[in-house]
A = this chain, B = another copy of it.
Amino acid sequence: MSINVEFINPFIESLLNVLSTMARTEAKHEAISLKESPEARGDITGMIGMIGNKVKGSLSITFTQSVALDICSKMLGEKFTEVDDSVVDLVGEITNMVTGGAKRILADQGHDFNMATPNVITGLNHRIHHQCQGQIIQIPFKAESGKFYVEVSFEDVK
């Protein structure tokens, strides 16, 4: 099974764009992998469902607490020291913006999908398991404050 780069690059591009413009945070992505290893583990995760005519799936962005607090501090220009409601809302907002940006790029390429509403999961050291019959792609990112993980899963609509 091969990774469909055409489908994944828009998510990377959108995430880097959101972090750069909204949080003055530069990040780099590391090697993309098909998910076979243990799931992304982190302290706060934004998640959203996607449904198109041909594919459906979901996206998750999993941060450690320190990375989430750093990004949210930069976004709002005030220091966050704990994962409170504002941080939860911001992670939901980031998830929405990243997926929305990718949606626009993919629509230009003829791949239309709609987005559900985001959810945010908190709790130290939780794990995300995408349940999908198709590909689950993990993209590790590295920012100054640490690493975080985007996972995108797709399967064909029957």
Give A contacts to B, CB under 8 Å.
Answer: 45, 47-51, 56-58, 60, 88-89, 92-93, 95-96, 114-133, 153, 155
Contact = CB atoms under 8 A, between A and B. Distances in A.
Given A49-B58, A126-B123, A117 B92 contact: no
Consensus secondary structure, chain A interface: strand
Contacts of A153: 117
Copies in the complex: 2
Given A45-B121, A51-B116, A153-B117, A129 B92 contact: yes
A125 B43 CA distance: 12
A45 B131 CA distance: 12
A48 B45 contact: no
A112 to B, nearest CB: 12
